[in-house]
Amino acid sequence: MPNMNTRRKRVEVFAQGNEAIAEGALLAGCSFFGGYPITPSTEIMEVMSQRLPPSEDGVFIQMEDEIASMGAIIGASLAGRKAMTATSGPGFSLMQEHIGYACMVEAPLVVVNVMRGGPSTGLPTSPAQGDVQMARWGTHGDHSIIVLSASTVQECLEMTVVAFNMAEKYRTPVILLVDEVTAHTREKITIPYRDELEILSRVTPTVPPEWFKPFAEATRAVPAMAPIGSGYRIHVTGLTHDQMGFPTSRPDEVNEAMKRMFRKIDQFYGDIMMVDEFMTDDAEVAVLAYGSVARSARYAVEQARARGVKAGLLTLKTLFPFPRPAVEKLCRRCKHVLVPEMNMGQISREVKRVNNGYTRVRTLNRVDGQIITPSEILKAIL
Protein backbone atom coordinates (compact mmCIF):
# COMPACT_ATOMS: atom_id res chain seq x y z
CA MET A 1 0.00 0.00 0.00
CA PRO A 2 1.23 3.60 0.49
CA ASN A 3 4.96 3.82 -0.02
CA MET A 4 6.36 5.24 3.19
CA ASN A 5 9.50 6.67 1.67
CA THR A 6 7.80 9.66 0.19
CA ARG A 7 9.04 13.04 1.36
CA ARG A 8 5.94 15.03 0.61
CA LYS A 9 3.72 15.78 3.54
CA ARG A 10 0.64 13.67 3.21
CA VAL A 11 -2.86 14.97 3.68
CA GLU A 12 -4.37 13.98 6.97
CA VAL A 13 -8.08 14.26 7.50
CA PHE A 14 -10.62 13.37 10.10
CA ALA A 15 -12.99 11.11 8.26
CA GLN A 16 -15.62 8.47 8.61
CA GLY A 17 -15.29 5.00 7.10
CA ASN A 18 -17.82 5.69 4.39
CA GLU A 19 -16.01 8.87 3.35
CA ALA A 20 -12.72 6.98 3.29
CA ILE A 21 -14.26 4.40 0.96
CA ALA A 22 -15.30 7.15 -1.45
CA GLU A 23 -11.82 8.64 -1.21
CA GLY A 24 -10.23 5.29 -1.94
CA ALA A 25 -12.49 4.75 -4.93
CA LEU A 26 -11.52 8.11 -6.42
CA LEU A 27 -7.85 7.37 -5.85
CA ALA A 28 -8.25 4.02 -7.57
CA GLY A 29 -9.66 5.76 -10.62
CA CYS A 30 -13.36 5.11 -10.14
CA SER A 31 -15.14 7.40 -12.59
CA PHE A 32 -18.64 6.00 -12.45
CA PHE A 33 -20.97 5.63 -9.50
CA GLY A 34 -24.56 4.44 -9.74
CA GLY A 35 -26.49 3.89 -6.55
CA TYR A 36 -29.59 4.05 -4.44
CA PRO A 37 -29.49 5.41 -0.90
CA ILE A 38 -29.72 3.10 2.10
CA THR A 39 -28.52 3.38 5.67
CA PRO A 40 -25.76 2.88 6.77
CA SER A 41 -24.00 3.19 3.39
CA THR A 42 -25.48 6.44 2.12
CA GLU A 43 -22.53 8.73 2.83
CA ILE A 44 -20.46 6.91 0.22
CA MET A 45 -22.99 7.89 -2.41
CA GLU A 46 -23.26 11.43 -1.09
CA VAL A 47 -19.53 12.00 -1.33
CA MET A 48 -19.46 10.58 -4.86
CA SER A 49 -22.34 12.87 -5.89
CA GLN A 50 -20.20 15.82 -4.81
CA ARG A 51 -16.91 14.73 -6.19
CA LEU A 52 -17.63 12.99 -9.49
CA PRO A 53 -19.46 15.66 -11.51
CA PRO A 54 -16.68 18.25 -11.31
CA SER A 55 -13.94 15.68 -11.96
CA GLU A 56 -12.38 14.96 -15.35
CA ASP A 57 -14.84 12.41 -16.72
CA GLY A 58 -16.66 11.41 -13.56
CA VAL A 59 -20.26 10.24 -13.81
CA PHE A 60 -22.61 10.06 -10.87
CA ILE A 61 -26.14 8.80 -11.29
CA GLN A 62 -28.78 8.05 -8.71
CA MET A 63 -30.78 5.16 -10.08
CA GLU A 64 -34.35 4.10 -9.32
CA ASP A 65 -33.31 1.09 -7.25
CA GLU A 66 -30.42 -1.26 -6.55
CA ILE A 67 -31.19 -3.54 -9.47
CA ALA A 68 -30.87 -0.54 -11.75
CA SER A 69 -27.72 0.62 -9.97
CA MET A 70 -26.00 -2.67 -10.64
CA GLY A 71 -27.21 -2.69 -14.24
CA ALA A 72 -25.85 0.81 -14.75
CA ILE A 73 -22.42 0.08 -13.32
CA ILE A 74 -22.12 -3.12 -15.34
CA GLY A 75 -22.98 -1.10 -18.46
CA ALA A 76 -20.41 1.51 -17.50
CA SER A 77 -17.79 -1.15 -16.82
CA LEU A 78 -18.41 -2.71 -20.23
CA ALA A 79 -17.97 0.75 -21.71
CA GLY A 80 -14.53 0.95 -20.13
CA ARG A 81 -15.11 2.67 -16.81
CA LYS A 82 -14.01 1.78 -13.33
CA ALA A 83 -17.41 1.63 -11.69
CA MET A 84 -18.80 1.18 -8.22
CA THR A 85 -21.98 1.06 -6.20
CA ALA A 86 -22.57 1.02 -2.46
CA THR A 87 -25.46 -0.39 -0.50
CA SER A 88 -26.59 -2.20 2.64
CA GLY A 89 -28.46 -5.47 3.30
CA PRO A 90 -31.81 -5.10 1.51
CA GLY A 91 -30.17 -3.36 -1.43
CA PHE A 92 -27.50 -6.04 -1.59
CA SER A 93 -30.26 -8.65 -1.83
CA LEU A 94 -31.70 -6.84 -4.84
CA MET A 95 -28.33 -6.71 -6.53
CA GLN A 96 -27.73 -10.43 -6.56
CA GLU A 97 -29.05 -11.29 -10.03
CA HIS A 98 -26.79 -8.65 -11.54
CA ILE A 99 -23.80 -9.63 -9.43
CA GLY A 100 -24.14 -13.05 -11.03
CA TYR A 101 -24.38 -11.41 -14.43
CA ALA A 102 -21.22 -9.42 -13.73
CA CYS A 103 -19.42 -12.65 -12.78
CA MET A 104 -20.59 -14.29 -15.99
CA VAL A 105 -19.56 -11.47 -18.31
CA GLU A 106 -16.43 -10.82 -16.23
CA ALA A 107 -17.19 -7.17 -15.63
CA PRO A 108 -14.72 -5.56 -13.24
CA LEU A 109 -16.57 -3.50 -10.65
CA VAL A 110 -16.79 -2.88 -6.93
CA VAL A 111 -19.84 -3.35 -4.73
CA VAL A 112 -19.57 -2.00 -1.21
CA ASN A 113 -21.98 -3.49 1.30
CA VAL A 114 -22.08 -1.68 4.62
CA MET A 115 -23.80 -4.39 6.59
CA ARG A 116 -26.71 -3.71 8.90
CA GLY A 117 -28.71 -6.03 11.11
CA GLY A 118 -31.04 -8.36 9.23
CA PRO A 119 -32.79 -10.30 7.87
CA SER A 120 -35.14 -8.00 6.00
CA THR A 121 -35.12 -4.34 6.97
CA GLY A 122 -33.79 -5.55 10.32
CA LEU A 123 -31.77 -3.02 12.24
CA PRO A 124 -30.99 -0.14 9.86
CA THR A 125 -28.57 1.69 12.10
CA SER A 126 -27.03 -1.12 14.10
CA PRO A 127 -23.90 -3.04 13.32
CA ALA A 128 -23.94 -6.62 12.14
CA GLN A 129 -21.89 -8.97 10.04
CA GLY A 130 -24.73 -11.02 8.71
CA ASP A 131 -24.06 -10.76 4.98
CA VAL A 132 -20.79 -12.68 4.87
CA GLN A 133 -22.04 -15.90 3.34
CA MET A 134 -24.43 -13.97 1.13
CA ALA A 135 -21.54 -12.00 -0.33
CA ARG A 136 -20.00 -15.32 -1.32
CA TRP A 137 -23.08 -17.34 -2.25
CA GLY A 138 -25.89 -14.83 -2.75
CA THR A 139 -26.31 -15.38 -6.45
CA HIS A 140 -27.62 -18.42 -8.24
CA GLY A 141 -25.19 -20.73 -9.99
CA ASP A 142 -21.57 -21.55 -9.48
CA HIS A 143 -18.91 -18.89 -9.69
CA SER A 144 -15.95 -17.62 -7.80
CA ILE A 145 -15.83 -14.10 -6.42
CA ILE A 146 -13.64 -11.94 -4.22
CA VAL A 147 -14.92 -10.60 -0.91
CA LEU A 148 -12.86 -8.16 1.13
CA SER A 149 -13.35 -6.51 4.49
CA ALA A 150 -12.02 -3.47 6.34
CA SER A 151 -11.75 -2.87 10.05
CA THR A 152 -10.46 0.70 10.40
CA VAL A 153 -11.19 3.93 8.59
CA GLN A 154 -7.71 3.94 7.06
CA GLU A 155 -8.32 0.41 5.89
CA CYS A 156 -11.61 1.47 4.33
CA LEU A 157 -9.60 3.69 2.01
CA GLU A 158 -6.87 1.15 1.37
CA MET A 159 -9.12 -1.84 0.85
CA THR A 160 -11.25 0.09 -1.63
CA VAL A 161 -8.13 0.67 -3.70
CA VAL A 162 -7.30 -3.03 -3.39
CA ALA A 163 -10.88 -3.90 -4.38
CA PHE A 164 -10.60 -1.90 -7.60
CA ASN A 165 -7.19 -3.34 -8.36
CA MET A 166 -8.38 -6.90 -7.89
CA ALA A 167 -11.53 -6.24 -9.90
CA GLU A 168 -9.47 -4.96 -12.81
CA LYS A 169 -6.76 -7.57 -12.52
CA TYR A 170 -9.09 -10.55 -12.35
CA ARG A 171 -12.02 -9.13 -14.33
CA THR A 172 -14.52 -9.85 -11.61
CA PRO A 173 -16.90 -8.08 -9.30
CA VAL A 174 -15.30 -7.50 -5.90
CA ILE A 175 -17.45 -7.13 -2.82
CA LEU A 176 -16.17 -4.94 0.00
CA LEU A 177 -17.92 -5.76 3.26
CA VAL A 178 -17.86 -3.20 6.01
CA ASP A 179 -19.89 -3.04 9.19
CA GLU A 180 -21.78 -0.07 10.49
CA VAL A 181 -19.26 0.68 13.24
CA THR A 182 -16.36 0.95 10.81
CA ALA A 183 -18.45 2.91 8.32
CA HIS A 184 -19.52 5.52 10.85
CA THR A 185 -16.46 5.74 13.08
CA ARG A 186 -14.53 8.96 12.61
CA GLU A 187 -10.80 8.93 12.96
CA LYS A 188 -7.72 10.52 11.52
CA ILE A 189 -6.58 9.02 8.26
CA THR A 190 -3.78 9.72 5.84
CA ILE A 191 -4.71 10.19 2.24
CA PRO A 192 -1.91 8.93 0.06
CA TYR A 193 -0.92 10.62 -3.18
CA ARG A 194 -2.11 8.79 -6.22
CA ASP A 195 1.42 8.22 -7.46
CA GLU A 196 2.30 6.48 -4.23
CA LEU A 197 -0.26 3.81 -4.97
CA GLU A 198 -0.13 0.91 -7.32
CA ILE A 199 -3.21 1.39 -9.48
CA LEU A 200 -4.10 -1.42 -11.85
CA SER A 201 -6.31 -1.26 -14.90
CA ARG A 202 -7.77 -4.03 -17.01
CA VAL A 203 -5.77 -5.35 -19.93
CA THR A 204 -7.17 -4.22 -23.27
CA PRO A 205 -6.60 -6.11 -26.51
CA THR A 206 -3.65 -5.31 -28.74
CA VAL A 207 -4.59 -7.60 -31.61
CA PRO A 208 -6.69 -6.32 -34.51
CA PRO A 209 -10.46 -6.67 -34.03
CA GLU A 210 -10.70 -9.61 -36.48
CA TRP A 211 -8.34 -11.64 -34.35
CA PHE A 212 -9.81 -10.79 -31.01
CA LYS A 213 -11.49 -13.53 -28.99
CA PRO A 214 -13.19 -11.70 -26.16
CA PHE A 215 -13.50 -14.64 -23.78
CA ALA A 216 -10.52 -16.74 -24.71
CA GLU A 217 -7.95 -18.13 -22.33
CA ALA A 218 -5.23 -15.52 -21.95
CA THR A 219 -2.44 -14.72 -19.53
CA ARG A 220 -3.55 -15.54 -16.01
CA ALA A 221 -6.75 -16.99 -17.57
CA VAL A 222 -8.13 -13.46 -17.64
CA PRO A 223 -9.16 -12.38 -21.14
CA ALA A 224 -8.31 -8.92 -22.37
CA MET A 225 -11.29 -6.60 -22.29
CA ALA A 226 -12.27 -4.21 -25.09
CA PRO A 227 -14.46 -1.30 -24.07
CA ILE A 228 -17.74 -1.04 -25.97
CA GLY A 229 -17.26 1.59 -28.63
CA SER A 230 -13.56 0.98 -29.13
CA GLY A 231 -13.99 -0.80 -32.44
CA TYR A 232 -13.93 -4.37 -31.21
CA ARG A 233 -17.68 -4.87 -31.59
CA ILE A 234 -18.33 -7.79 -29.29
CA HIS A 235 -21.33 -9.65 -27.96
CA VAL A 236 -21.83 -9.82 -24.22
CA THR A 237 -24.36 -12.19 -22.71
CA GLY A 238 -25.35 -13.65 -19.37
CA LEU A 239 -25.87 -16.95 -21.14
CA THR A 240 -22.98 -19.37 -20.97
CA HIS A 241 -20.86 -18.41 -23.91
CA ASP A 242 -18.01 -19.65 -26.07
CA GLN A 243 -14.69 -17.86 -26.50
CA MET A 244 -16.25 -15.45 -28.98
CA GLY A 245 -18.91 -14.51 -26.47
CA PHE A 246 -21.80 -16.27 -28.19
CA PRO A 247 -24.24 -18.50 -26.32
CA THR A 248 -23.33 -22.14 -26.23
CA SER A 249 -24.56 -25.25 -24.49
CA ARG A 250 -21.97 -27.58 -25.91
CA PRO A 251 -20.67 -29.44 -22.84
CA ASP A 252 -17.03 -29.04 -23.77
CA GLU A 253 -17.34 -25.30 -24.31
CA VAL A 254 -19.45 -24.79 -21.21
CA ASN A 255 -17.01 -26.79 -19.13
CA GLU A 256 -14.04 -24.83 -20.44
CA ALA A 257 -15.69 -21.47 -19.84
CA MET A 258 -16.74 -22.31 -16.30
CA LYS A 259 -13.42 -23.85 -15.35
CA ARG A 260 -11.47 -20.89 -16.68
CA MET A 261 -13.58 -18.46 -14.67
CA PHE A 262 -12.82 -20.40 -11.51
CA ARG A 263 -9.19 -20.85 -12.43
CA LYS A 264 -8.51 -17.16 -12.97
CA ILE A 265 -9.10 -16.63 -9.25
CA ASP A 266 -8.17 -20.02 -7.81
CA GLN A 267 -4.61 -19.93 -9.07
CA PHE A 268 -3.90 -16.59 -7.43
CA TYR A 269 -4.93 -17.32 -3.89
CA GLY A 270 -1.55 -16.08 -2.70
CA ASP A 271 -2.12 -12.68 -4.23
CA ILE A 272 -5.75 -12.37 -3.20
CA MET A 273 -5.77 -13.65 0.35
CA MET A 274 -4.84 -10.83 2.69
CA VAL A 275 -4.55 -11.14 6.45
CA ASP A 276 -2.97 -9.13 9.24
CA GLU A 277 -1.16 -10.95 11.96
CA PHE A 278 -0.78 -9.48 15.45
CA MET A 279 1.27 -11.36 18.03
CA THR A 280 0.55 -14.67 16.37
CA ASP A 281 4.16 -15.87 16.23
CA ASP A 282 4.12 -17.57 19.60
CA ALA A 283 0.36 -17.47 20.18
CA GLU A 284 -1.28 -20.31 22.03
CA VAL A 285 -4.73 -18.84 21.64
CA ALA A 286 -5.63 -17.15 18.40
CA VAL A 287 -8.54 -14.85 17.78
CA LEU A 288 -9.75 -14.75 14.18
CA ALA A 289 -11.77 -11.65 13.43
CA TYR A 290 -12.69 -9.12 10.75
CA GLY A 291 -14.33 -5.73 10.58
CA SER A 292 -14.81 -3.68 13.73
CA VAL A 293 -14.70 -6.85 15.83
CA ALA A 294 -11.01 -7.15 14.95
CA ARG A 295 -10.41 -3.87 16.78
CA SER A 296 -12.06 -5.10 19.93
CA ALA A 297 -10.11 -8.31 19.52
CA ARG A 298 -6.81 -6.50 19.22
CA TYR A 299 -7.37 -4.72 22.51
CA ALA A 300 -8.44 -7.99 24.12
CA VAL A 301 -5.27 -9.68 22.88
CA GLU A 302 -3.13 -6.93 24.38
CA GLN A 303 -4.96 -7.29 27.69
CA ALA A 304 -4.51 -11.04 27.62
CA ARG A 305 -0.80 -10.65 26.98
CA ALA A 306 -0.60 -8.24 29.92
CA ARG A 307 -2.01 -11.06 32.03
CA GLY A 308 0.53 -13.50 30.72
CA VAL A 309 -1.66 -15.35 28.23
CA LYS A 310 -0.04 -15.91 24.87
CA ALA A 311 -2.83 -14.60 22.68
CA GLY A 312 -2.67 -13.45 19.08
CA LEU A 313 -4.98 -11.99 16.46
CA LEU A 314 -5.47 -12.88 12.85
CA THR A 315 -7.47 -10.18 11.06
CA LEU A 316 -9.05 -11.36 7.85
CA LYS A 317 -8.93 -8.72 5.15
CA THR A 318 -9.92 -11.17 2.45
CA LEU A 319 -12.98 -13.19 3.43
CA PHE A 320 -13.30 -15.10 0.14
CA PRO A 321 -11.47 -16.93 -1.25
CA PHE A 322 -11.17 -17.93 2.39
CA PRO A 323 -7.55 -17.44 3.55
CA ARG A 324 -7.06 -21.07 4.33
CA PRO A 325 -3.26 -21.19 4.66
CA ALA A 326 -3.08 -18.52 7.37
CA VAL A 327 -6.01 -19.95 9.29
CA GLU A 328 -4.85 -23.53 9.01
CA LYS A 329 -1.43 -22.61 10.35
CA LEU A 330 -2.97 -21.24 13.53
CA CYS A 331 -5.41 -24.11 13.89
CA ARG A 332 -2.56 -26.58 13.74
CA ARG A 333 -0.62 -24.78 16.44
CA CYS A 334 -2.98 -23.17 18.93
CA LYS A 335 -4.67 -24.66 21.96
CA HIS A 336 -7.84 -23.15 20.72
CA VAL A 337 -8.99 -20.49 18.29
CA LEU A 338 -11.77 -18.05 18.94
CA VAL A 339 -14.00 -16.56 16.28
CA PRO A 340 -16.04 -13.62 17.54
CA GLU A 341 -18.50 -12.20 15.01
CA MET A 342 -21.69 -10.22 14.85
CA ASN A 343 -23.70 -13.06 13.34
CA MET A 344 -24.56 -16.64 14.26
CA GLY A 345 -21.30 -18.04 12.91
CA GLN A 346 -20.75 -17.29 9.25
CA ILE A 347 -16.95 -17.20 9.29
CA SER A 348 -16.52 -19.69 12.12
CA ARG A 349 -18.21 -22.11 9.72
CA GLU A 350 -15.29 -21.60 7.33
CA VAL A 351 -12.77 -21.88 10.15
CA LYS A 352 -14.30 -25.18 11.25
CA ARG A 353 -14.11 -26.43 7.68
CA VAL A 354 -10.41 -25.54 7.50
CA ASN A 355 -9.66 -26.73 11.04
CA ASN A 356 -10.27 -30.32 10.14
CA GLY A 357 -9.88 -31.55 13.71
CA TYR A 358 -6.61 -29.79 14.58
CA THR A 359 -7.88 -27.75 17.49
CA ARG A 360 -10.97 -26.48 19.25
CA VAL A 361 -12.83 -23.72 17.42
CA ARG A 362 -14.77 -21.55 19.81
CA THR A 363 -17.33 -19.02 18.75
CA LEU A 364 -18.61 -15.81 20.24
CA ASN A 365 -21.69 -14.51 18.53
CA ARG A 366 -23.86 -11.46 18.96
CA VAL A 367 -26.93 -10.71 16.87
CA ASP A 368 -28.54 -8.06 19.07
CA GLY A 369 -27.28 -5.06 17.14
CA GLN A 370 -24.55 -4.43 19.72
CA ILE A 371 -20.83 -4.47 19.15
CA ILE A 372 -18.64 -7.17 20.60
CA THR A 373 -16.55 -5.54 23.32
CA PRO A 374 -12.90 -6.21 24.18
CA SER A 375 -13.87 -7.48 27.62
CA GLU A 376 -16.20 -10.08 26.16
CA ILE A 377 -13.43 -11.34 23.94
CA LEU A 378 -10.92 -11.22 26.75
CA LYS A 379 -13.21 -13.32 28.91
CA ALA A 380 -13.47 -15.87 26.16
CA ILE A 381 -9.70 -15.97 25.68
CA LEU A 382 -8.85 -16.50 29.33
74 belongs to the binding site for another protein (CB under 8 A):
yes
Query: What residues from 144 to 183 belong to the interface with another protein (CB under 8 A)?
Result: none
Question: Which of 53, 325 has the CB closer to another protein?
Answer: 53
Question: Binder to another protein among 8, 64, 206, 357 (CB under 8 A)?
Answer: 64
Cis peptide before 119 (omega within 30 of 0): yes
**Distance, CA of 201 to CA of 216 (rounded, Å):** 19
What secondary structure letter does DSSP report for 146? E
Question: Which of 93, 373 has the CB closer to another protein?
Answer: 93
Q: How far is the CB of 121 from another protein (least distance, A)?
A: 19
238 belongs to the binding site for another protein (CB under 8 A):
yes
SS3 269: helix
**Distance, CA of 202 to CA of 214 (rounded, Å):** 13
Q: How far is the CB of 262 from another protein (least distance, A)?
A: 22
54 belongs to the binding site for another protein (CB under 8 A):
yes
228 belongs to the binding site for another protein (CB under 8 A):
yes
**Distance, CA of 42 to CA of 20 (rounded, Å):** 13
Burial degree of 11 (CB within 10 A; 0-12, 13-18, 19+): exposed
Query: What residues from 94 to 113 belong to the interface with another protein (CB under 8 A)?
Result: 97-98, 101
283 belongs to the binding site for another protein (CB under 8 A):
no
Q: How far is the CB of 249 from another protein (least distance, A)?
A: 12
70 belongs to the binding site for another protein (CB under 8 A):
yes
Question: Which of 103, 364 has the CB closer to another protein?
Answer: 103
Residues in the chain: 382
Question: Which of 59, 275 has the CB closer to another protein?
Answer: 59
The helix or strand, by DSSP H or E, that contains position 91, with its residue range, turns out to be helix 89-105
Question: Binder to another protein among 29, 75, 122, 124 (CB under 8 A)?
Answer: 75
Start-to-end Cα distance in the chain: 35
The stretch near another protein (CB under 8 A) out of 38-46, 71-79, 147-155, 214-222 is: 71-79
231 belongs to the binding site for another protein (CB under 8 A):
yes
Give the contact letters, 198-227, x = binds to another protein (CB under 8 A), - = no: -----------------------------x
Give which of 261, 269, 272, 164 is closest to 222, Cα–Cα.
261
**Distance, CA of 170 to CA of 185 (rounded, Å):** 31
Strand 275-278 vs strand 311-316: parallel, antiparallel, or unpaired?
antiparallel
Question: Which of 97, 253 has the CB closer to another protein?
Answer: 97
The DSSP code sequence of 314-342 is: EEESEEES--HHHHHHHHHH-SEEEEEES
Residues that bind another protein (CB under 8 A): 32, 34, 53-56, 59, 61, 63-65, 67-81, 83, 97-98, 101, 227-231, 233-239, 244, 246-247
